[in-house]
Amino acid sequence: MTIKPLLDRVVLKVEEAEEKTKSGIILSSAAQEKPQFASVVAVGPGGVVDGKEVKMYVSVGDKVIASKYAGTQVKIDGEEYTIVNQSDILATLE
Amino acid sequence: MTIKPLLDRVVLKVEEAEEKTKSGIILSSAAQEKPQFASVVAVGPGGVVDGKEVKMYVSVGDKVIASKYAGTQVKIDGEEYTIVNQSDILATLE
Amino acid sequence: MTIKPLLDRVVLKVEEAEEKTKSGIILSSAAQEKPQFASVVAVGPGGVVDGKEVKMYVSVGDKVIASKYAGTQVKIDGEEYTIVNQSDILATLE
Amino acid sequence: MTIKPLLDRVVLKVEEAEEKTKSGIILSSAAQEKPQFASVVAVGPGGVVDGKEVKMYVSVGDKVIASKYAGTQVKIDGEEYTIVNQSDILATLE
Amino acid sequence: MTIKPLLDRVVLKVEEAEEKTKSGIILSSAAQEKPQFASVVAVGPGGVVDGKEVKMYVSVGDKVIASKYAGTQVKIDGEEYTIVNQSDILATLE
Amino acid sequence: MTIKPLLDRVVLKVEEAEEKTKSGIILSSAAQEKPQFASVVAVGPGGVVDGKEVKMYVSVGDKVIASKYAGTQVKIDGEEYTIVNQSDILATLE
Amino acid sequence: MTIKPLLDRVVLKVEEAEEKTKSGIILSSAAQEKPQFASVVAVGPGGVVDGKEVKMYVSVGDKVIASKYAGTQVKIDGEEYTIVNQSDILATLE
């Protein structure tokens, strides 16, 4: 079963706190509310959103920082994901 | 009796929890509020919505993930449906 | 006395619950708040609304589903009507 | 003393309840809040409102239905009027 | 000391209640909150406001009706004025 | 240390109440909340703000009236300033 | 590990209060809430944001004043940063 985001949506998988510590990232205290550090699982094709052409800047596998309160959480095959608009992604980590 | 959505509206039928388990999808705890996993029952023709041309990306029969709090619930011939704007559909499942 | 809606307004007459049962439609529990199933009584000519050209898609006599909380209720010659913007009409029933 | 509305403003005079009964119109229970049935007393010239060209569709003497909560009430020479934007007028009565 | 409004701002001087009675105008009960009947003291030059060209329709000396809750009150040389956007002026009185 | 406002920002220095009395200006009772009478300390270059070209109309040294609740207060080298958008400046005083 | 802001995002590092005193800047009392004086750590490439072309005006190393309540705080490798939109930066300090 594959999840295919529409338009400018991006599917994120929140990074587990222990993985983060390994790569040197420490989650802020508010991390339990909503994903902030996440990896990109699926990227929509972009297109005309609200009458404006949106290009996609993130790719599957990117480590990203997303707005704390953005997105919709879904559970597919027992795994939790967050679907955000690309505009809710603030930065990538390299 | 057929329901024909106007413009960019999409009629959804929420997937029953037991069907979902079969196909490996488990609903999130908030599922009882509003449909999140649904199948597309009818699709509007698209057109100019609020001065902007909207094309339709979903088709009848698509399995979709919709925003949790979006849409209007209606009951026709004893069946419950949710009418959303296409922009409330986040992703399709394949 | 005739009511002539301006621009993109549509005058609706809520369907009585008993009529609905006959045609197989059962109103949702929230139906007593505002009309959801209604028939179109009068349709404005369309035109430029908020700087955007609006075309009319519904016709007098159409059975429609309208947003639950939309519109203004008026009483003319003892009959109650609801005036909505066409954009508050979600679908037609055939 | 004449009141001359600017741009797309329309000056309304609320119809008295007894006049309405004569012409067969019965005011809704919320009528004491704000005018709904009214006659047009003065009409602005239209023009560019918020960057958009607005044409006037109502004329002095028209019987109109206005949004219940719209407009500004003023008292001139002891008479009460309501100044609304033309977009707050929903329909005319003929 | 002269006050020169920028862009589409208009400086108003609220009419005193006693002057109004003389010219036949009676203030509404809410008049003590904010000016509604006023005379124009200074008019901005107009120009591009929020990306849209605004032309000025009122002139110094005009008697106007302004929105009850609009504007900023300032006291210059002991006199109280209200600075509004021209769009807060509903009508002129002649 | 110089403060250089970006785009359409303007740095204001609130006029002290005693200076004002000298030049005949008396502050309104709400003056302790936020600056209303101020002198312009620095002016941004203007440019494209939210997709719209903004030209600057105020100059360093201008005496201005600003919206009471607008702007961000900062303290630099012990001096308090308020940074506003030019659109929060209502008028100049000459 | 490098943080790369998307589009018009800017990564800020709040200036410590003691450093500020040295360079003559004294933080306002509200400084503990959110960064106001900060240095630019990373700058996005700009681009089309909400259908409008945004150019970047700040550079890495700039000392800036940002809106008090703007931005998202993140902790990377034990260091706290704030990611803002460039439009939340009010001025630079030189």
Q: Could you tell me which residues are beta bridge partners of residue A73? A: A82
Would you call E3 helix, strand, or coil by DSSP?
Answer: strand
State yes or no: chains B and D have 3 or more CB pairs below 8 A.
Answer: no
D69 C-beta neighbours (distance < 10 Å), count: 11
Please give the DSSP secondary-structure letter assigned to residue E19.
H
Residue G35 pLDDT class (50, 70, 90 cuts) = low
Give CA–CA dist G36/G44, Å, rounded. Answer: 20
Phi, psi of A53 (to 5 degrees): -65, 125
Residues E22-35 have a mean pLDDT of: 46
**DSSP one-letter string for B29-75:** GGGGTS-SEEEEEEE---EEETTEEE-----TT-EEEE-TT-SEEEE
What is the average pLDDT value for chain B, to the nearest integer?
Answer: 83
Nearest-CA neighbor of D54 among D45, D65, D46, D44? D46
Q: Which residues of C touch D27 (CB under 8 A)?
A: 75
pLDDT beneath 50, residues of chain C: 17-23, 26-33
Q: Touching check for F24 and chain E: CB below 8 Å?
A: yes
Q: Do B90 and A83 touch (CB under 8 A)?
A: yes
Q: Could you tell me which residues are beta bridge partners of residue F84? A: F10
Domains, in order of start, for chain E: 9-93 (2.30.33.40)
Residue A49 pLDDT class (50, 70, 90 cuts) = very high
Q: Are F29 and F8 in contact (CB under 8 A)?
A: no
Would you call A21 helix, strand, or coil by DSSP?
Answer: helix
What is the average pLDDT value for chain A, to the nearest integer?
Answer: 83
Give CA–CA dist B29/A75, Å, rounded. Answer: 9
Q: Do A65 and G1 touch (CB under 8 A)?
A: no
Give CA–CA dist C30/C7, Å, rounded. Answer: 29
What is the structure's pLDDT at B18? 43
Residue in chain C nearest D86 by alpha carbon? C6
F10 pLDDT exceeds 50? yes
Minimum mean pLDDT among A15-24, B20-29, D28-37, E6-15: which range?
B20-29
Residue type, C60: V
What is the average pLDDT value for chain E, to the nearest integer?
Answer: 83
Which of C28, C51, C52 is the closest to B74 by Cβ?
C28
G50 C-beta neighbours (distance < 10 Å), count: 14
Give CA–CA dist A93/A27, Å, rounded. Answer: 14
Helix (H) or strand (E) holding A18: helix A17-22
Residues B77-87 have a mean pLDDT of: 92
Residues A38-51 have a mean pLDDT of: 95
ipTM of the complex model: 0.80
Q: Do B51 and C51 touch (CB under 8 A)?
A: yes
Q: Which residues of B touch A9 (CB under 8 A)?
A: 90-91
Residues 67-86 of E with CB under 8 A from D: 67-68
Minimum mean pLDDT among A30-44, B52-66, C65-79: which range?
A30-44
Residue G13, exposed/middle/buried by CB under 10 A (0-12, 13-18, 19+)? Answer: middle
What is the structure's pLDDT at C78? 85
